[in-house]
Amino acid sequence: MGTAPEKLATAADLLTGTEFNAARVRELFRLTADVKARPDRYRTALAGRYLALIFEKPSLRTRVTFEVGIQSMGGGSIFLDHTGTRLGQRESIKDVAKNLERWVQAIVARVFEQKALEELAAHASIPVINALSELYHPCQALADFFTLEERFGNLQGLTLAYVGDGNNVCHSLLLAGARVGANVRVATPAGHEPDAAIVAEALRVARETCAKIEILRAAEEAVAGAQAVYTDVWASMGQEQEAAQREKLFAPYQVNEALMAQAAPEGVFLHCLPAHRGLEVTDAVMDAPSSVVYDQAENRLHVQKAILLTLLV
């Protein structure tokens, strides 16, 4: 699948989630809570600041929340549609970065390859924010754990079970979970485990925060007693040709009422969306009172506003 990046971003970037240590995540969540509770306080906080949004992949939540987020704080955004032409094809990524840094105050990029983000960050003097790559989805994972903190009050010792493909969302849940002191259990079919280097980084941080990281095979083992059950699509963007094969392989990992019944009585269901109802999750679970998928989606806005404030102010 890949390896952890050789070059980590500076503290001014958010490329992998490893740039934020446990203390900085706590500060981010405190700011997020304030931004959500008192949005008027931040109405002009980013006045005169502009984002360049570079998207190689389509988006609903990510684009809307970043555009609304910056505009609600007095700034603006420029959308650069790269769904037809990959970043670096028309001109070098270096030249894109060098141009954009003269006009805007940050770059938000949703890309197929993590190395494109790394190259942007290497050549741009302004913050670069990962809005999704094949290896990481840090904004999503931060919003997920903020949502769980709202629900349960405390993340230390909380257990999140992720079942399905060991993909970018899974990677970021491991990294963020370790930082907030949550226990993260991952259950995947053989050959679809999360990247070993990323698991090793999560384990390293978990030793410092007293979190527990487990990589398992059976969905039932992961979900047993968990306060949060999480899944994602079985075939990510770019893997559509594998969809039929993956449906058979991942069928035992469907989150349905029987699987959710093995979670804690207060357990909640999470999904980063979009969801393929009837595949990785059933309608009954998606639409149940225990589903917090739309809370997650809302909190993308508030967490990303806090990220912009942290990196741009």
**Residue 205 domain flag:** yes
pLDDT in tens, 151-203: 999 999 999 999 999 999 999 999 999 999 999 999 999 999 999 999 999 99
41 is an active site residue: no
- Identify the residue whose tokens are 């969809």: 243
137 is an active site residue: yes
71 and 52 co-located in one domain: yes
272 is an active site residue: yes
Model pTM score: 0.94
**Residue 201 domain flag:** yes
Q: Which of 61, 82, 139, 140 is catalytic?
A: 140
In this structure, what CATH number is given to the domain that contains residue 84?
3.40.50.1370
**In which domain, by residue range, is 274 found?**
140-296
**Residue 30 domain flag:** no
Q: Which of 49, 61, 82, 137 is catalytic?
A: 137
Say how far apart CA 150 and CA 294 lie, in whole Å. 13
90 is an active site residue: no
66 and 123 co-located in one domain: yes
What confidence score (pLDDT) does residue 141 get?
98
Q: How far is CA 75 from CA 39, 43, 50, 149, in A?
A: 14, 9, 6, 29
276 is an active site residue: no
Q: Which of 82, 171, 300, 302 is catalytic?
A: 300
Q: Which of 272, 296, 302, 304 is catalytic?
A: 272
Distance spanning both ends of the chain, measured CA to CA = 36
148 and 292 co-located in one domain: yes
Angle between helices 114-123 and 93-103 (to 10 degrees): 50
Other Cβ atoms within 10 Å of 148 Cβ, number? 26
What confidence score (pLDDT) does residue 1 get?
40
Which residues of the chain carry a pLDDT beneath 70? Answer: 1-11, 237-239
